Amino acid sequence: MSAQSNIQTSDKPLGRDELAELVARDIAPGSFVNLGIGQPTLVSNYLRPEQNITLHTENGMLGMGPVAVGEQIDGDLINAGKIPVTELPGASYFHHADSFAIMRGGHLDICVLGAFQVSATGDLANWHTGEPDAIPAVGGAMDLATGAKDVFVMMTLLTRDGVSKLVEHCSYPLTGVGCVTRVYTDKAVFLTGPDGVTVRETFGCTFEELQAMVPLPLVAAS
């Protein structure tokens, strides 16, 4: 086994929940965090109370609690995915311009987003397939991508056709330029920056096997 292979930390690729658990563990205590619609919302299931994380939802709330059930359901209290949620002690409400000032002003520590593609330099494509008959819808994706101090992406590494979503240059329309700092996938965690892509750890494959799947030069974390 080569020296580089010892960044493999799991025998198997990670499932969606295992990946969410890993992202949750990597969020620093006391952080203010926005979880995007879809797979990123799973992260909230694994945040521990002692981490003291405050969740932001772009429709005007800090201190968002778990999804509402039964009697708790209230049409006036929803998250960005329009799912009824709950409020935690210490929650606050504010209007939309303030909510996006929280984002754009750099007050959020982390946002976690899904992606179609991420480029070698951290460009993000996650809002539009670019197909001519697709109805475009951007929501808060561009604001989140450019506003949070750290942008984490959660996605499968490969498309259903086996093509890497981590690419040299995005072919889908961009959401933001050079904004992604980490990419969590089922097969590896990548750190992206102006100096290229570093692999922090791999799951179910060696570094060399991972490199064979990704069409850009990777560096293994030392």
Partner 1 sequence: MLNFIDTVSEAVAGIRDGSTVMIGGFGNAGQPFELIDALLESGATELTVVNNNAGQGDQGLALLIKEGRVKKMICSFPRQSDSWHFDARYKAGEIELELVPQGNLAERIRAAGAGIGGFFTPTGYGTMLAEGKETRIIDGRGQVFETPIHADVALIKALKADGVGNLVYRKTARNFGPIMAAAAKHTIVQVSEIVPTGALDPENVVTPGIYVNSIVRVADALGSKEQVA
Active-site residue list: 58
Nearer to partner 1, 21 or 87 (CB): 87
- Which residue from 36, 40, 122, 176 is in contact with partner 1, where contact means CB under 8 A? 176
Q: Per residue in 107-140, is it b (16+ CB within 10 Å) or e — as a string?
A: ebbbbbbbbbbbbbbbbbbbbbeeeeeeeeeeeb
- Which residue from 142, 158, 213, 216 is in contact with partner 1, where contact means CB under 8 A? 142
Residue 67 is a binding residue for partner 1 (CB under 8 A): no
> Rule CB under 8 A: which of 112-131 touch partner 1?
123, 128
- Which residue from 31, 51, 54, 59 is in contact with partner 1, where contact means CB under 8 A? 59
Size of the site for partner 1 (CB under 8 A): 44
Residue 97 is a binding residue for partner 1 (CB under 8 A): yes
Tokens of 212: 């064979």
- Which residue from 147, 150, 153, 167 is in contact with partner 1, where contact means CB under 8 A? 147
**Interatomic CA distance for residues 43 and 100, integer angstroms:** 22
Residue 75 is a binding residue for partner 1 (CB under 8 A): yes
Cβ neighbours for 71, distance < 8 A, ≥ 6 positions apart = none
DSSP for 18-79 reads HHHHHHHHHSPTT-EEEE-SSGGGGGGGG--GGG--EEEETTTEEEEEEEP-GGG--TT-B-
Q: Which residues bind partner 1 (CB under 8 A)?
A: 57-61, 71, 73-78, 82, 84, 87, 93-97, 99-101, 103-104, 123, 128, 133, 135-143, 146-147, 173-177
